[in-house]
Amino acid sequence: MQLHYMPSSPYVRKVCVCAIEAGVDELIERVDTDIRDKESGIRDANPLGKVPAMRLKNGDVLFDSVVICEFLDNINEDSRLFPGYGPERWDVLRQHAQANGIIDAVWIRRREGIRDAAKRSESLMRHQVRAINAALDAFEKEVPAFSENPNIATITLGVAMGYMDFRMPEMSWRDDRPALTDWYMTFSERPSMRDTMPEDAK
């Protein structure tokens, strides 16, 4: 399987962490892809021109990080990053959406922040920061109920928090969130997290 990726993408990192946790990382060939390069072939893999995109052995292509992650989770029968049908599944998927929304908001906030001042929307940036803080405050209350074993929600949350440290260090998200801070300190030491940290963030 070939994974089109960019090392700094948090969505790619989510896939890579899931691959390691699911025990299938060795099955994946990584293809460093510049999505701005018309010759990169990314639109042959994903018409949207985004990474991650994964080409399977039979030639089929999957894209969108959560789709790829669930595919990887199903390769080995004993991997359970996605709970089966039932209340636990919907709770984990809801948490995943919340954590993924943090990544989205950080990305939007950063993109807007590097625009020329005359074109920048301060209200849009404030909106993203409010969304990030609200999601983090909600997770602060949920930490005691987190599963000891990683799942798609906690993996995405860990990646989101690392992405904040990487792209928005000024936010100081740890302030007044001791449970989340302690959880992340432990989770970020997992080999899957250490091995996928972008070089620029080390």
Indicate left, alpha or beta for 59 from its phi (over 0: left) and psi (-120 to 50: alpha): left
Identify the pLDDT of residue 7: 85
In this predicted model, what pLDDT tens digit does every residue of 75-96 receive, in sequence order?
988 878 999 989 999 999 999 9
Q: Domain for residue 8, yes or no?
A: yes
Identify the pLDDT of residue 201: 56
Residue ranges of the chain with pLDDT lower than 50?
Answer: none
Identify the pLDDT of residue 48: 76
Identify the pLDDT of residue 202: 53
What range does the domain containing 113 cover? Answer: 87-190
Co-location of 117 and 57 in the same domain = no
The number of domains in the chain is 2
Co-location of 7 and 53 in the same domain = yes
Strand order in the sheet with 2-5: 29-32, 2-5, 53-55, 61-63
**Residue 18 CB neighbours (<10 A):** 30
Domain boundary among 30, 45, 73: 73
Identify the pLDDT of residue 105: 97
